[in-house]
Amino acid sequence: MLPFRQVLFPVDYSEPCRAVVPYVRDMIRHFSAGLTLVHASGLGLEALGYNDLAMADPGRREESRACEEKRLREWAKEMFPGQHVESIAEEGEPASVIHRVVQHQGADLVMLPTHGRGRVRRFLLGSVTAKLLHDLTTVVWTGVHSALAEHQPGVPYRSIVCALENDKEAEAVLRSAAAFAASYGAQLSLVHAVETPPGAWDVDFAPYKKDLMDASERWLWEIKRTLGLDIPHSIIDASIPNGIRQAAVDKKADLVIIGRGHALGAFSRMWSRLYPIVRESPCPVLSI
């Protein structure tokens, strides 16, 4: 995973997009990475009812694209002064455009905000973000979505939480998290959420819960020993999103690192919780 060599930053000129800029600046500076900005200009002239105009004057489409490219270059100069930035403006559905550019550019990191808005923002991810998290195999960094007044993450990263699931991907995720934290000189800690069944009047789950917690404790010690890591860990009896959120708050984390299950070629339990993890996190999430 490391070091990142090419960062792709999708731009829509919104306030959430601008809020991600300091994190992008830090990432490209820290890893001496290249930066590409991409802007997808909606669904094209046809979607706006300009079918006849587009057919009669094909130059109108190219003129529109040139205007978008100029706007993107000017935004790049404002947001990343003195930085060499490649700017790409294409017409099309945003997630599809971004996916094509990732493949063409060979980007190894995509950074973008979550774009939940309004009164229901805690229950939604932006459709573009959700599609990219699902489709891309590239590492994806998603911005702060539900930051707390008492929890203000920032860069450079000083506290990082790695959330592990007990699967074949865990060792690779932890190794990547350790390398990322070491590059920043950040404190790394582990969290593993154990979801135990709710209590029932006729069933005693206490022994079952203890067995799960003890097994998780042994597993975390073993994986740390295997990788030669001496870092703190915690096991939380909670849902995965709530457990990770609580650990991030407790550790005043600037970043959460998780796996997405792509290395397994299948959907993991962590993957099935990915959207709520991202939307509930009080700090950015780096999903591998």
Helix axes of 206-227 and 170-184: crossing angle, nearest 10 degrees: 60
Whether the per-residue pLDDT at 51 is higher than 50: the answer is no
In this prediction, residue 50 carries a pLDDT of 46
Sheet arrangement for strand 233-236: 86-90, 34-40, 6-10, 109-112, 139-142, 285-287, 255-258, 159-163, 187-193, 233-236
Instruction: Give the whole-angstrom CA distance, residue 182 versus residue 41.
Output: 39
- Give me the domains of the chain, ranges plus CATH numbers: 1-143 (3.40.50.620), 145-288 (3.40.50.620)
- For residue range 197-231, what is the model confidence (pLDDT) as tens digits? 665 556 666 678 888 899 999 999 999 999 999 99
Q: How many CA atoms lie less than 13 Å away from 198 in the CB half-sphere?
A: 0
Predicted pLDDT at 175: 96
3-state secondary structure of 183: helix
The pLDDT-based confidence of 48 (bands split at 50, 70, 90) is very low
- 3-state SS track over 259-279: CCCHHHCCCCHHHHCHHHHHH
Supply the pTM of this predicted model: 0.85
Q: Is residue 46's pLDDT more than 70? A: no
Q: Report the alpha-carbon distance of residue 65 to residue 71 in Å, rounded.
A: 10
Over residues 95-116, the pLDDT tens digits come to 899 999 999 988 999 999 886 4
Q: How far apart are CA 110 and CA 173, in angstroms?
A: 17
